[in-house]
């Protein structure tokens, strides 16, 4: 049962003063409203009816909107004044710390940083690598091909005998400063017999007798260089210390298996060595003996350097042009013209 007294409905159709009555209801809403419940009509206070349906009164839609609260959060890409003040204070603090350091402390910090970087680079440097050569070629040591090459040689040493021993692979970098190289003799592959290879092409360790190719080199020297006599051994260290780079294209080999380390990455590395000499030095004499050495030296700038070519001193080809080539005396003549000290080929 509805306890509220029903309010009579107005007659259908507009009545005089209907518009004025409508706006009066908007501005000052009636104290009650009417709705149907089943077949009966009930009257409720207007506010209660609005609360029941969960909506605002019509009067609310025509009221001015309340002012919005100002956000304290920073705008995108910006910051509050407090944040700016904090950043400025931090910057001033860091600047104060830097200015508080003495010149000696700053220099010590610089040296420590440089030393740390050097130690980091040295971790990848192969054993026995000359310092001046390391400074110019260090970028190669971390390249994928060189990392793979070192891993390959390490695995080979676990399974087989590999020449030369690790500390002698880079003997050619220990003999002279990289900028003091005056002559380059290119070889192909290290000797693969016991106690022969020691990091200098064509050279063997004492007291191993000279191999056939080196014997032929000595024969040519005896006819080309005055007072040259056979040294009785095959160690060419005396030449290397004067600036003669004795460089094989491949720097390691498995015992008794010639060219077993061919195309594993050594050729790429020694190409970099030749390229550095070609681009950074002047007046170097390159002795290219045989087709292999001549291909490797094909990119050398002939206007910048001197090229001497002939066949390889191997017994198979020595008589086809190596004997009588006079490369050793010609080399000294070219060095003198460049204002460089000639090589004493007898100093073995």
Question: Any alpha helices (H) in the chain, and if so which ranges?
Answer: 18-27, 46-53, 81-100, 103-122, 131-137, 144-159, 212-224, 237-240, 266-280, 291-296, 327-337
What DSSP assignment string belongs to 181-200?
Answer: --EEEEESS---STTT-SSS
Q: Tell me the two tokens of residue 59.
A: 């009067």
Active site residue: 189, 224, 271, 344, which one?
189
Task: Mark whether 189 is an active-site residue.
Answer: yes
Q: Quick one: 278 exposed, middle or buried, by C-beta within 10 A (0-12, 13-18, 19+)? A: middle
- Judge contact between 329 and 307, C-beta under 8 A: no
Location of structure tokens 């390889």: 312
Contacts 24+ apart (CB under 8 A), 333-340: 334/283, 334/285, 334/306, 335/182, 335/183, 335/283, 335/285, 338/282, 338/283, 340/182, 340/283
- The closest alpha carbon to 172, from 243, 242, 246, belongs to 246
Output phi, psi for 289, to 5 deg: -105, 115
CA distance 147 to 47: 85
Calculated CA dihedral for residues 199, 204, 208, 213, nearest 10 degrees: 140
- Catalytic residues, by residue number, are 189
């Amino acid at each position: 049962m509805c306890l509220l007294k029903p309010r009579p409905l107005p007659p259908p159709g507009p009545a005089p003063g209907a518009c004025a009555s409508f706006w009066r209801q908007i501005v000052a809403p009636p104290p009650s409203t009417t709705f149907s419940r089943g077949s009966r009509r009930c009257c409720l206070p207007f506010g209660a009816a609005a609360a029941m349906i969960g909506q605002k009164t019509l009067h609310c839609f025509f009221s001015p909107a309340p002012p919005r609260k100002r956000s304290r959060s920073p705008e995108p890409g910006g910051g509050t004044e407090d944040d700016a003040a904090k950043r400025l204070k931090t910057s001033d603090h860091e600047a104060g710390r830097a200015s508080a350091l003495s010149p000696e402390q700053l220099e010590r910090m610089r040296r420590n940083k440089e030393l740390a970087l050097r130690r980091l680079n040295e971790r990848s440097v192969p054993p026995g690598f000359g310092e001046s050569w390391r400074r110019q070629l260090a970028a190669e040591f971390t390249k994928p091909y060189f990392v793979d090459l070192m891993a390959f040689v390490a695995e080979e040493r676990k399974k087989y005998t590999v020449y030369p021993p690790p500390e002698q692979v880079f003997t050619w970098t220990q003999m002279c400063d990289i900028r003091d190289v005056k002559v380059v003799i290119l070889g192909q592959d290290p000797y693969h017999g016991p106690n022969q290879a020691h990091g200098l092409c064509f050279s063997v360790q004492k007291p191993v007798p000279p191999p056939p190719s080196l014997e032929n080199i000595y024969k040519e020297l005896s006819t080309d260089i005055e007072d040259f006599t056979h040294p009785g051994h095959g160690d060419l260290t005396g030449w290397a210390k004067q600036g003669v780079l004795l460089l094989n294209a491949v720097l390691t080999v498995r015992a008794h298996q010639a060219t077993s380390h061919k195309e594993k990455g050594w050729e790429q590395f020694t190409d970099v060595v030749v390229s550095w000499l070609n681009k950074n030095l002047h007046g170097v004499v390159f002795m290219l003996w045989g087709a292999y050495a001549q291909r490797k030296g094909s990119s050398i700038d002939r206007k910048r350097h001197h090229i001497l070519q002939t066949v390889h001193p191997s017994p198979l080809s020595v008589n086809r042009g190596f004997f009588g080539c006079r490369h050793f005396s010609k080399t000294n003549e070219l060095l003198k013209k460049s204002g460089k000290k000639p090589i004493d080929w007898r100093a073995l």
